[in-house]
Structure 1
């Protein structure tokens, strides 16, 4: 097996060094051979070519955000819910999220992976609780072992260096977010709970069919039940995105963020936060590509930042 692998690698080296190839299909084959050699060869020149990103330099400094710029997202842990009271005494539910030491664990560029994205890692995990490929990935990138990874597509001007820390100050109070997570699993449920069916009549003549779905198909034509018919089945446990969740407050000292809106998942689940797609925030207020703390800044002494409520109370529903 090892001899066969060495023979294949030597053949790819020979194929890579040939200079008589000019047709586009062969060029594609050569690029595939180059990627195979980078992955399995121990040649230092190929390793250096792999790490240099073909001369692309990613700098970790503040920049100017444009209307077409797309920043990275953040991984957070759903801590629970609390409540606030508006000026009329109404109770408003607020969800608390914890951004547990997010760092950039991999930088993907068009020269190497063909896309522009950032892989973000969150939390901590012991080596014995990770698989060998996961440990090898973290060691190859030179970053700490992380519990959760997530890839966020970004624009080229929003790339961050490897190992950059991302705190809750990546967002600002008052902006809107899109929150993605796995909804609560509710098991196998009937049509009344799963699809809000009305149910059958609960009067005389209805025997043990009060919560049944009713008719599900036709007769001989077409003689089947169409795909997608709303019936009883497993409910919840799917990835869903809640749009336009409002940021009420952030606490830089504890990496906490308070949001008003529905956040999918149970307490302790991971959720993914990014700038809202529809209610876009003001680009002049956002730190771009992220917030960079200064060396003399004492994070533990920072006060929480609260959104400006303005003249109209945002916690009150519209009439």
Structure 2
């Protein structure tokens, strides 16, 4: 059965496997998540389940959102995410999902929002090479190079790699491995790095490449 859960990135550390080899891991506080809504082909045209994570005061949610939570008889949640699963018959509105939905050895995909870097130049943003630090290329060597020919096409092509806003975008890391699950504290240790700063919300689901 396919699985999915919302969590919060706690940070990175390292653990040792049974052979004494060090494994770098990212610790995620996964859940508890509440099933807020079930979507079916008959009512919505597709099959999915909506999960809520993180309690929030009822004063801080809009009236439409409050009505949505009241209909499900669920306390207001700070974060709502949807997971398209093949079979949601075993889930019911109000059910609580915890970290133990995943087990050690599972292959997962993690979706998060990458760290925002602000306005960045072409070298940092696109790994471009600097210009020659000699006469004729100044006044700086780190700006973008040629913008294209003058007469044809007489414009800059769309998609040209130039300076601009870097980071703060949706990123998916695929086929990561679950190294450890602490069901009591709702913690999952994932091998390697995942997107986003500490405290950011991430979505964990079964890997599409497993």
Across the aligned residues of Structure 1 and Structure 2, the Cα RMSD in angstroms comes to 1.9
Tell me the equivalent position of 1:100. 31
Measured at CA, do residues 88 and 247 of structure 1 come closer, stay the same or move farther in structure 2, by a change above 3 Å? closer
User: Normalized against structure 1, the TM-score is what?
Assistant: 0.62
Q: Distance in 2 between matches of 1:187 and 1:89?
A: 40
Bigger strand fraction: 2
Measured at CA, do residues 91 and 169 of structure 1 come closer, stay the same or move farther in structure 2, by a change above 3 Å? closer
Aligned 1:120-199 pairs, distance under 5 A: 120-156=51-87, 158-199=89-130
Structure 1 unaligned residues grouped into runs of 5+: 1-64, 66-70, 280-319
| Structure exhibiting the larger radius of gyration computed from Cα positions | 1
Q: Distance in 1 between matches of 2:125 and 2:88?
A: 44
1:77 aligns with 2:8: yes
Q: Distance in 2 between matches of 1:131 and 1:181?
A: 25
RCO comparison, higher one (Cα < 8 Å, 6+): 2
Tell me the equivalent position of 1:219. 150
Tell me the equivalent position of 1:247. 178
Could you tell me which of 164, 167, 170 is aligned with 1:233?
164
Q: Distance in 2 between matches of 1:78 and 1:158?
A: 29
Q: Distance in 1 between matches of 2:194 and 2:164?
A: 23
Per-residue deviation, 1:87: 8.6
SS of residue in 1 equivalent to 2:42: coil
Tell me if the contact between 2:5 and 2:31 (Cα under 8 Å) persists in the aligned partners: no
Measured at CA, do residues 269 and 218 of structure 1 come closer, stay the same or move farther in structure 2, by a change above 3 Å? same
Q: Distance in 2 between matches of 1:202 and 1:85?
A: 47
SS of residue in 2 equivalent to 1:263: coil
Per-residue deviation, 1:202: 2.2
Q: Distance in 1 between matches of 2:123 and 2:20?
A: 34
1:265 aligns with 2:209: no
Q: Distance in 1 between matches of 2:163 and 2:153?
A: 22
Per-residue deviation, 1:268: 0.7
Bigger helix fraction: 1
Tell me if the contact between 1:117 and 1:159 (Cα under 8 Å) persists in the aligned partners: no
Per-residue deviation, 1:84: 3.1
